[in-house]
Chains A and B, each alone.
Chain A
């Protein structure tokens, strides 16, 4: 066979392999990432506002924690809203991570053998940090749940779960946990990573949901920066203040 025929055939085969329809489409996966991402940002912001109760003292913080377990009662059974949120967040987490990994693999394949080198600038750096940052955030979620929700493996020595009568020890658990320096530092550093993840994520949401307006894009970008900053300032301050003895 002449070599150019062989080449034409390889080319055709490669083109066929490249143009294989993949399900779900990258478009669909990006929509999933955008919507679940917005759910997470909303959750993190609300969680952060709740955390601020720690500055109002033990009673305020514990009352808020207890309230979370009976929101909407008696219309909705106790812990009803809590579990609805937990299920939503768990499903979102699985979808967000599965989509992210699939898209990452597709991007690598589309780029081919020669990787892009020499990228500089804020956007490229934070884009590159999305996947490794996401892995850190996932580890943090597991640690955080074990530490302060479930009370297993990594919990502090004095951890106490909620009582049968609805009394919670959220404040004492938090102070005990953050009195361990490595845990406090892990929480604070993760908040910085979350902030970069949220900032870049919110800017990517603009692209995924198709916001083309110049003014809206500018406004949203600024808003994303403010949200990211609020997450760091609001959350990361707590373990540091516990560690330095301001919150005790």
Chain B
């Protein structure tokens, strides 16, 4: 099957990018977006040109490395699915794909479809971790967490950090990402001694590097981990809690 592609090419962060047209004649319905790009790169390299740069790793939707914008949709036309799990068979009659990087001011393009998502790492560095007492492992029953709470916390922990929520947001907000981290860590006793400090650090980093949330709700449509919109509310819930409490915990 024939697929017409418009692909964003950009030589470096400072270079001006532009779309480049390509045609893949031997695409198959079972090809994922990544496999389609692989096929195209074979073609391009065969002609002696530079391959299109893009990121991907596990190709089974768990690592968060991949992510391109397809016809204006971060990750592609299938909702809540990472780029590597989007197959041509699910695109219906669409045979023309415009593929560009995940777009946001916080994600400068490094090359072609590869963006620098270290702004997300800075959110994690600010507060997406817990202080633990090192030493002998505690007894398995010494820290009791109800099953429902553990499950809910793990639902928020499912975020793979791909950054599609930021690319989907017209405000370039990372509240779904930051909120999933805050909600995940607020629901379990680990690291509760720094709950207030964490909320402050994460909110400040979100404020400094990303935009505000206006409840467009676009982030939840693309999130491959299915993080709900209540994660966004968790950002301000945790921050307000910290403000009124005025303590580290």
Looking at the assembled complex, report how far the CB atom of A3 sits from the nearest CB atom of chain B, in whole angstroms.
8
Given contacts A30-B236, A116-B103, whether A109 and B211 have CB atoms under 8 Å apart is yes
Give the docked Cα–Cα distance between A128 and B216 (Å).
8
Contact call A107/B215, Cβ cutoff below 8 A: no
The interface residues of chain B lying within 8 Å CB-to-CB of A52 are none
Q: Please, what's the 1-or-0 string for B109-120, where 1 marks a CB less than 8 Å from any CB in chain A?
A: 000000010010
Given contacts A116-B169, A212-B183, whether A110 and B229 have CB atoms under 8 Å apart is no
Which A residues from 88 to 115 make CB contacts under 8 A with B? 103, 106-115
Contact call B236/A22, Cβ cutoff below 8 A: no
Stretch binding the partner chain, chosen from A42-50, A61-69, A70-78, A119-127: A119-127
The interface residues of chain A lying within 8 Å CB-to-CB of B208 are 18-22
Contact call A209/B103, Cβ cutoff below 8 A: no
The interface residues of chain A lying within 8 Å CB-to-CB of B216 are 119, 123-124, 127-128
Closest to A115 in B: B170
Q: Please, what's the 1-or-0 string for B22-33, where 1 marks a CB less than 8 Å from any CB in chain A?
A: 000000000000
Contact call B173/A22, Cβ cutoff below 8 A: no
Closest to A29 in B: B212
Give the docked Cα–Cα distance between A22 and B239 (Å).
17
SS class, residues of chain A in contact with chain B: helix
Q: Please, what's the 1-or-0 string for A124-155, where 1 marks a CB less than 8 Å from any CB in chain B?
A: 10011010000000000000000000000000
Interface status of B90 (Cβ within 8 A of chain A): no
Contact call A209/B207, Cβ cutoff below 8 A: no
The interface residues of chain A lying within 8 Å CB-to-CB of B213 are 30, 204, 207
Looking at the assembled complex, report how far the CB atom of B152 sits from the nearest CB atom of chain A, in whole angstroms.
10
Q: Point out the residue from B168, B211, B237 that lies within 8 Å of A211, measured CB to CB.
A: B237
Looking at the assembled complex, report how far the CB atom of B98 sits from the nearest CB atom of chain A, in whole angstroms.
10
Give the docked Cα–Cα distance between A11 and B12 (Å).
12
Give the docked Cα–Cα distance between A206 and B119 (Å).
26
Contact call A127/B230, Cβ cutoff below 8 A: no
Contact call A110/B106, Cβ cutoff below 8 A: yes
Looking at the assembled complex, report how far the CB atom of A129 sits from the nearest CB atom of chain B, in whole angstroms.
11
Contact call A103/B215, Cβ cutoff below 8 A: no
Q: Chain B contact residues (Cβ within 8 angstroms of A): what range?
A: 35 or more
Give the docked Cα–Cα distance between A110 and B174 (Å).
10
Contact call A114/B173, Cβ cutoff below 8 A: no
Contact call A112/B72, Cβ cutoff below 8 A: no
Interface status of A2 (Cβ within 8 A of chain B): no
Q: Chain A contact residues (Cβ within 8 angstroms of B): what range?
A: 35 or more
Contact call A19/B209, Cβ cutoff below 8 A: yes
Given contacts A111-B105, A116-B169, whether A124 and B212 have CB atoms under 8 Å apart is no
Q: Point out the residue from B12, B13, B172, B235 that lies within 8 Å of A112, measured CB to CB.
A: B172
Give the docked Cα–Cα distance between A118 and B122 (Å).
29
Closest to B229 in A: A207
The interface residues of chain B lying within 8 Å CB-to-CB of A109 are 105, 211
Closest to A117 in B: B72
Q: Please, what's the 1-or-0 string for A4-30, where 1 marks a CB less than 8 Å from any CB in chain B?
A: 001100110010001111100111011
The interface residues of chain B lying within 8 Å CB-to-CB of A114 are 100, 103
Looking at the assembled complex, report how far the CB atom of B15 sits from the nearest CB atom of chain A, in whole angstroms.
10
The interface residues of chain B lying within 8 Å CB-to-CB of A206 are 233
Interface status of B104 (Cβ within 8 A of chain A): yes
Looking at the assembled complex, report how far the CB atom of B171 sits from the nearest CB atom of chain A, in whole angstroms.
3
Which B residues from 207 to 245 make CB contacts under 8 A with A? 207-218, 221, 229-230, 232-241
Looking at the assembled complex, report how far the CB atom of A15 sits from the nearest CB atom of chain B, in whole angstroms.
8
Nearest 3 pairs of A and B residues by beta carbon: A210-B237, A112-B105, A110-B211
Question: Using a CB–CB distance below 8 Å, which chain A residues touch chain B?
Answer: 3, 6-7, 10-11, 14, 18-22, 25-27, 29-31, 103, 106-119, 121, 123-124, 127-128, 130, 200, 203-204, 206-214, 217
CB<8 Å pairs between A and B, sample of 19: A7-B14, A11-B116, A18-B208, A19-B205, A22-B207, A27-B203, A109-B105, A109-B211, A110-B105, A110-B210, A112-B106, A113-B105, A118-B73, A119-B218, A127-B216, A204-B214, A210-B235, A212-B183, A217-B233
A sample of 16 more A-B contacts (CB under 8 A), given A19-B205, A22-B207, A207-B233, is A10-B13, A18-B209, A25-B207, A27-B236, A107-B211, A107-B214, A111-B172, A118-B72, A119-B218, A123-B215, A124-B217, A127-B170, A127-B215, A127-B217, A210-B233, A212-B234
